[in-house]
């Protein structure tokens, strides 16, 4: 089309574009925004006013309590009690006692872990977050090496540092050796029976047992560290130990259960379903009661478990059932073509799962795993009911200290706990949303 307009036949045609006019004053600027989003109709106006009233009722007292009236420094209860209660504050004063939180900060983080040994906890925390951060950032390099470090090296280092190592494991060498011989024999027999080369299987098995021997050796080696029993662990340390161990243990178990539930083998499927539905059907608190009261009865005479370990077992079994359902969601989300394609390539079941299905499925369920972790992190608070001192338990137990007892003490403690839990959980949920969006783009059809 020519851009020569036919000017002869039309009396008037505007040649130049008009400048953009600003929107009318009534529909721009803060006033318009207010009208649009807050006062657009009578019901909306009423709602808005109601909300403003709610904010007015909630915010000023909370700010007063948390900031304006709060006490930030001090050495005992006097600073946080009114004159009538034997303190220095004017009567009618009501504010948070952050001085108490400050005085107890160490216990809230480490529990009663000896002061002189707390550097060990710090190192473990540093290693953990240092190792985890690059794993969580999709762009960071060395994923594989990092993963290997987190899976194989870190747990061992953490156990040795936190407990002090030198664990009595010498009686385990012989059973493990026997087990190794049996395992090698089974692998060999299996390979012979199926007329394939036994060498690769034997190598893998030998490597695994060698790893176990190294593990035992490290656990049993005396590094000269002071032994710290789990009874004195507490605070954020216990919360993180339970949550992280729970999730780490539940991941492999959960994957196995999810595969089992989708397996074609009836007995495997049956046990998987029973296991999953059982743990999902009961409240965690009864699981914890069971592991703390009943588990000792199931063990042979003379074998006892650490209290923390018992809680860990309960938590791990419980969360593995939830993890299994998350993983199953990922497995179901994969198009059938992936399975068929893998089979068409002649892969056997193990190869198919290991190389085709699980990598894709697990990637899909990262947000689900993070959400399970958030749930688990919140649920760790329940261990205080069975007498472990997690973060909340430690805060609660500090309420019994007469040196700081005042009417605002428990409220301050609970507020502090709420803030800390919120920061952790909110941060993780943001991360999970970020991953969800990121993974989503790859799967848009």
Partner 1 sequence: MKKLILTSALGAAAVAFAGSAAFAATLDDVKAKGFVQCGVSQGLPGFSNPDADGNWSGLDVDLCRGVAAAIFGDGEAVKFTPLSAKERFTALQSGEIDVLSRNTTWTMSRDTQLGLNFAGVNYYDGQGFMVRTSMNINSALELSGASVCTNTGTTTELNVADYFRANNMEYELVAFEKADEVVAAYDAGRCDVYTTDQSGLYAQRLKLTDPGEHKVLPEIISKEPLGPVVRQGDDQWFNLVKWVHIATVNAEELGVTQANVDEMMAGDNPSVKRLLGSEGEFGSAIGLENDWGANVIKAVGNYGEIFDRNVGPDTPLGIARGVNALWSKGGLMYGPPIR
Partner 2 sequence: MAVTDVTPNGAGGDDDQAPRVALLNNPEIRGWIFQIVLAILIVYLVYAGWSNMNANLQAAGIASGWAFLGNNAGFAISQSLIEYSQASSSYGRVYVIGLLNTLIIAFFGIIFATIIGFLMGVARLSKNWLVSRLATVYVEALRNIPLLLQIFIWYFGVLRLLPQPRQGFDFGFLGLLNNRGYFAPKPVWGDGAEFTLYAFIIACIAAWALGRWARARQMATGQTFPAFWTGFGMIVFLPLAVFVITGSPLSWDIPVMGGFRPSGGMTVIPEFIAMLVALAMYTAAFIAEIVRAGILAVSRGQTEAANALGLRSGPTLRLVVIPQALRIIIPPLTSQYLNLTKNSSLAVAIAYPELTSVFAGTALNQTGQAVEIISLTMLTYLTISLLTSLFMNWYNSRVALVER
Query: By the criterion CB under 8 A, which residues form the site for partner 1?
Result: 85-86, 107, 112, 114-115, 167-169, 172, 176, 179, 183, 186-187, 205, 208, 212, 215-216, 219, 229, 231-232, 252, 256, 292-293, 296-297, 299, 301-307, 309, 313, 385-387, 396-397, 399-402, 405-407, 410
DSSP string, 377-445: HHHGGGGGGGT--BHHHHHHHHTT-GGG--TTHHHHHHHHHHHHHHHHHHHHHHHHHHHHHHHHHHT--
For position 267 contacting partner 2 by CB under 8 A, the verdict is yes
DSSP helix/strand/coil, 39: coil
| Number of residues written out for the chain | 445
For position 172 contacting partner 2 by CB under 8 A, the verdict is no
Binding mask 272-311 for partner 2 (x = CB under 8 A): -----xx-xxxxxxxx-xx--xx-xxxxxx----------
Using CB under 8 A, which of 327, 382, 388, 435 touches partner 2? Answer: 382
For position 411 contacting partner 2 by CB under 8 A, the verdict is yes
Stretch that binds partner 2, among 6-14, 118-126, 153-161, 374-382 (CB under 8 A): 374-382
CB of 194 to partner 2, least distance (A): 4
Stretch that binds partner 2, among 71-79, 97-105, 139-147, 376-384 (CB under 8 A): 376-384
Instruction: Give how far Cα 433 sits from Cα of 136, 153, 244, 370, 417, Å.
Output: 13, 30, 20, 10, 24
Residue 406 site contact among partner 1, partner 2, none (CB < 5 to 8 Å, cut-off depends on kind): partner 1
Using CB under 8 A, which of 89, 358, 379, 388 touches partner 2? Answer: 379
Task: Report the residue number, 251 or 374, with the smaller CB distance to partner 2.
Answer: 374
Rounded to an integer, what distance in angstroms lies between the CA atom of residue 244 and that of residue 32? 50
Tell me how many degrees the CA angle 418-423-426 measures, rounded to the nearest 5. Answer: 110
CB of 181 to partner 2, least distance (A): 18
For position 335 contacting partner 2 by CB under 8 A, the verdict is no
Residues 439 and 363: beta-carbon distance below 8 Å? yes
Instruction: Provide the angle, in degrees to the nearest 10, between the axes of the packed helices 98-110 and 391-398.
Output: 130
Residue 22 site contact among partner 1, partner 2, none (CB < 5 to 8 Å, cut-off depends on kind): none
Stretch that binds partner 2, among 18-26, 33-41, 77-85, 105-113 (CB under 8 A): 33-41
Task: Report the residue number, 299 or 403, with the smaller CB distance to partner 2.
Answer: 299
Residue 399 site contact among partner 1, partner 2, none (CB < 5 to 8 Å, cut-off depends on kind): partner 1
Residues 413 and 399: beta-carbon distance below 8 Å? yes
Rounded to an integer, what distance in angstroms lies between the CA atom of residue 53 and that of residue 9? 66
Looking at residues 196 to 225 of the shown chain, list those that interact with partner 2 (rule: CB under 8 A).
196
- Radius of gyration of the chain from Cα atoms? 30
Q: List all residues 6 or more positions away from 22 whose beta carbon is below 8 Å from its beta carbon.
A: 28
Task: Report the residue number, 29 or 252, with the smaller CB distance to partner 1.
Answer: 252
Residues 409 and 396: beta-carbon distance below 8 Å? no
Rounded to an integer, what distance in angstroms lies between the CA atom of residue 392 and that of residue 397? 9
DSSP string, 318-363: HHHHHHHHHHHHHHHHS-HHHHHHHHHTT--HHHIIIIIIHHHHHH
How many residues contact partner 2, by CB under 8 A? Answer: 62
Using CB under 8 A, which of 81, 161, 323, 384 touches partner 2? Answer: 384
Task: Report the residue number, 158 or 435, with the smaller CB distance to partner 2.
Answer: 435
CB of 74 to partner 2, least distance (A): 23
CB count, 10 Å around CB of 274? 10
Q: List all residues 6 or more positions away from 166 whose beta carbon is below 8 Å from its beta carbon.
A: 220, 221, 222, 223, 225, 227
For position 392 contacting partner 2 by CB under 8 A, the verdict is yes
For position 57 contacting partner 2 by CB under 8 A, the verdict is no
Stretch that binds partner 2, among 112-120, 141-149, 155-163, 408-416 (CB under 8 A): 408-416
Q: List all residues 6 or more positions away from 441 whose beta carbon is below 8 Å from its beta carbon.
A: none
Continuous segment of H or E residues that includes residue 296? helix 295-298
CB of 333 to partner 1, least distance (A): 24
**Which residues of the shown chain bind partner 2 in the complex (CB under 8 A)?**
33, 37-38, 40, 44, 47-48, 51-52, 54-55, 190, 193-196, 264-268, 271, 277-278, 280-287, 289-290, 293-294, 296-301, 349, 374, 378-379, 381-382, 384-385, 392, 396, 410-411, 414, 417-418, 421-422, 425-426, 429
């Amino acid at each position: 089309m020519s851009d020569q307009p036919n000017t002869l036949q039309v009396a008037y045609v505007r040649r130049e574009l008009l400048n953009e006019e600003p929107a009318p004053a009534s529909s721009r600027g803060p006033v318009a925004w207010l009208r649009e989003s807050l006062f657009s109709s009578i019901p909306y106006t009423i709602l808005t006013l109601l909300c403003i009233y709610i904010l007015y009722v909630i915010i000023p007292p909370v700010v007063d309590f948390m900031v304006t009236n709060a006490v930030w420094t001090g050495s005992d209860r006097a600073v946080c009690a009114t004159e009538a209660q034997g303190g220095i504050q004017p009567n009618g004063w009501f504010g948070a006692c952050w001085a108490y939180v400050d005085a107890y900060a160490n216990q809230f983080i480490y529990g009663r872990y000896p002061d002189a040994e707390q550097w060990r906890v710090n190192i473990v925390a540093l290693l953990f977050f240092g190792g985890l951060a690059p794993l969580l950032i999709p762009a960071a390099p060395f994923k594989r090496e990092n993963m290997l470090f987190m899976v194989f090296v870190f747990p061992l280092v953490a156990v040795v540092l936190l407990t002090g190592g030198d664990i009595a494991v010498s009686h385990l060498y012989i059973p493990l050796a026997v087990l190794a011989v049996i395992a090698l024999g089974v692998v060999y027999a299996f390979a012979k029976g199926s007329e394939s080369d036994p060498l690769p299987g034997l190598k893998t098995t030998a490597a695994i047992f060698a790893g176990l021997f190294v593990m035992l050796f490290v656990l049993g080696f005396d590094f000269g560290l002071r032994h710290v029993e789990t009874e004195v662990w507490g605070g954020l340390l216990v919360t993180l130990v339970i949550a992280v161990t729970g999730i780490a243990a539940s991941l492999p178990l959960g994957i196995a259960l999810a595969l089992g539930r989708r397996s074609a083998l009836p007995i495997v499927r049956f046990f998987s379903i029973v296991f999953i539905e059982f743990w999902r059907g009961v409240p965690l608190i009864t699981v914890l009661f069971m592991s703390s009261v009943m588990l000792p009865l199931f063990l042979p005479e003379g074998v006892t478990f650490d209290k923390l370990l018992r809680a860990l077992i309960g938590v791990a079994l419980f969360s593995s059932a939830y993890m299994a359902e998350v993983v199953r969601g990922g497995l179901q989300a994969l198009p059938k073509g992936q399975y068929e394609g893998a089979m068409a390539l002649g892969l056997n079941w193990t190869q198919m799962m290991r190389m085709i299905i699980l990598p894709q499925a697990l990637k899909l369920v990262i947000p689900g795993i993070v959400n399970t972790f958030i749930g688990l992190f919140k649920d760790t608070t329940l261990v205080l009911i069975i007498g472990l001192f997690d973060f909340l338990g430690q805060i609660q137990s500090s309420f019994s200290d007469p040196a700081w007892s005042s009417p605002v003490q428990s409220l301050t403690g609970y507020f502090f706990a709420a803030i800390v839990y919120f920061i952790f959980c909110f941060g993780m949920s943001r991360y999970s949303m970020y991953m969800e969006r990121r993974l989503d783009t790859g799967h848009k059809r």
